[in-house]
Amino acid sequence: MGFFLKLILTGLGWSFGGPLGGIIGYAIGSLFSGGPRLIRSEVTDTFGNTEEKRDFNVTLLVLSAAVMKADGNVKRSELDYVKRFFLQNFGQERAENYIKMLREILEKDYNLYEVSQQVGRYMDYASRLQLLHYLFGIANADGNVTQQELGVINTISDYMGITNSDFSSLKAMFIKETDSAYKILGIDPSASDEEVKRAYREMAKKNHPDLVSNLGDEVRQAAEKKFQEVNAAYESIKKQRGM
């Protein structure tokens, strides 16, 4: 990584060097043309003023690009999904800057293993689950998660250190099957009522929006959708069983 990029990332408090730092630096260099002092101010205004928020949001862009390019065709519905998320959560100006950065990232190829491994090392588990939830949302933006998209998300999940059970739970929120409610809770339909209750408590605790409150109210509010899916799955099973 060049000295100039190191100066930018250090000045912002960014935790990412390595492959993610290189991708971020490439995009920043394409977006901003001022000197070091101007860039530092512009990037802070663009991506937020706390390290955790910047790390999460920019990582979302990098991994979003991988999912969007999975089937060799970046769809308008996928780009619109990302635009809506950033517009709803960060306002017009910042949303436009994030999308500009995404367009630059889409032009660059990178090692998905190295990037995902770095995310796994530096980001807490709850935040990684939320990232994965967003990625499924992008893939499902056109109403269909392709096998190529599912494969890329599965690969990212493995490399980030997400358990198979948690991956299957998130997948079941977007790819509905007859036993999706059980998969969301990470259990088999043959589980006892007590096992269902225990699985719900564990999954609700793992996916509680408060766990990502450090990323800001915007991400916490988005995380509530995932939490609601867990609650809905539990209510569905209770109704089926008459619990």
Q: Tens of pLDDT along 183-201? A: 999 989 998 999 999 999 9
* pLDDT number for residue 213: 80
Task: Tell me the average pLDDT across 144-149.
Answer: 91
pLDDT band at 147 (very low <50, low <70, confident <90, very high): very high
Model pTM score: 0.77
* pLDDT number for residue 26: 61
Length of the chain: 243
Above 80 in pLDDT, residue 163? Answer: yes
* pLDDT number for residue 201: 93
Rg from Cα positions in the chain: 19
pLDDT band at 202 (very low <50, low <70, confident <90, very high): very high
The single-letter DSSP state of residue 241 is H
d(CA 61, CA 58): 5
* pLDDT number for residue 211: 87
Tokens of 238: 């209770």
d(CA 220, CA 212): 6
pLDDT band at 11 (very low <50, low <70, confident <90, very high): very low
Task: Tell me the average pLDDT across 32-61.
Answer: 58
Q: How many CB atoms lie within 10 A of CB 94?
A: 17
The model's pLDDT over 107-119, given as tens digits with 9 standing for 90+, comes to 877 888 888 888 8
The single-letter DSSP state of residue 243 is -
The model's pLDDT over 88-105, given as tens digits with 9 standing for 90+, comes to 777 787 778 778 888 888
Amino acid symbol at 134: Y
> End-to-end CA distance of the chain, in Å?
58
